[in-house]
Copies of this chain bind each other. A is one copy, B any other.
Amino acid sequence: MSAREAGLPEVVASGELPSEVTIWEVGARDGLQNESNVVPVGVKLEFLDRMASSGLSVLEATSFVHPKWVPQLADAAELLAGLEQRPGVSYPVLVPNERGLDRALEAGVTHIAIFASATETFASRNLNRTLDSQFEMFEPVVSRARAEGLDVRGYVSMCFGDPWEGAVPREQVVAVGRRLLDMGCSQLSLGDTIGVATPGQVEALLDAFGDVSSLAVHFHDTYGQALSNTLAALRRGVTTVDSSAGGLGGCPYAESATGNLATEDLVWMLDGLGVKHGVDLDQLVATSAWMAEQLGRPSPSRVVRALT
């Protein structure tokens, strides 16, 4: 069934939303990185190409994190070598440190992302750093990348709650974000890594930053809150939203466990609100349905399930 046959939403605006949103598609990186069965590089390339063909203009392609930590993305160099980049499409890659940057530069990457923590505990567990010393690791990465003419995005994880620390002080998130911007990041992606946030938190954090022009949002749907939180962020003027085709990114051990906000569910809402995004929903649904077949389990996206 096509989205139109299903009754693709009547377009009714809802005051004070951006007229256009950039969808930062993370399916190929954040979506796949937790998959235990390694996806062949050819499948990943087809996935990226089909997503580009559906109209997505930013495709986070892979990560140069050490293969020991993320075996799924050990093929980053091979993937980028085989990637036929489409004009008008950006293919950023995640880079954890200087060694990762070296590999990214060798691969001809022009847009990178770094991954910072908003909390002490996650900095320690994920980066083996203190909250403060993580910046020593990022500084040479960002300065060298900028010197080479690369664009740098800064992920800030655990912005709305931390499994060990609970609530995260907003001023701490803002301080981490500002240091990344001061360092040379052109955009921050504020992540609700464990999916606990609700709309009031989102508004309060965006208000604490003040200027939202360099801010993107990255919600996980663990508790079903991702789309409502996105709506709250759009109302505050955010124009870049991270999402994952088919909602990829859940825990691979739980059937249909949920991870990132599904791009299709986001697109459905944006279509209904008349917010432009450039994506052909039916093509993307077909792509995610195909990818779900490759992975051998159903997509957690509501839209993908309803239309396939």
Contacts and interface: CB of A to CB of B under 8 A. Distances in A.
A197 interface: yes
- The oligomer's copy count stands at 2
Given A14-B203, A227-B228, A302-B224, A198 B7 contact: no
A75 to B, nearest CB: 31
A273 B198 contact: yes
A112 interface: no
A295 to B, nearest CB: 16
Nearest to A305: B257
Interface stretch (A18-26, A61-69, A160-168): A160-168
A204 B224 CA distance: 24
Interface in A188-231: 194-201, 203-204, 221-225, 227-228, 230-231
Contacts of A9: 161, 196-198, 201
Nearest to A168: B10
By CB atoms of chain B within 10 A, which of A10, A201, A301 has the most?
A10
A299 B241 CA distance: 28
A184 interface: no
Interface residues of A, number: 54
A197 B227 CA distance: 13
Interface of A is mostly: loop
A272 interface: yes
A265 interface: yes
A7 B200 contact: no
Contacts of A303: 223-224
A222 B199 CA distance: 21
A155 to B, nearest CB: 19
B225 A225 contact: no
A71 interface: no
A10 B159 CA distance: 12
A255 interface: yes
A258 B227 contact: no
A274 interface: yes
A8 interface: yes
A201 B12 contact: yes
A13 interface: yes
Contact of A224 (B222, B223, B262): B262
Contacts of A163: 7
A256 B161 CA distance: 28
A292 to B, nearest CB: 13
A269 B228 CA distance: 9
A268 interface: yes
16 contacts: A7-B161, A7-B163, A7-B196, A9-B198, A10-B201, A12-B203, A196-B272, A198-B268, A199-B272, A200-B272, A223-B303, A223-B306, A225-B227, A228-B269, A231-B231, A258-B306
Minimum-distance CB pairs A-B, first 4: A198-B272, A12-B200, A224-B302, A224-B265
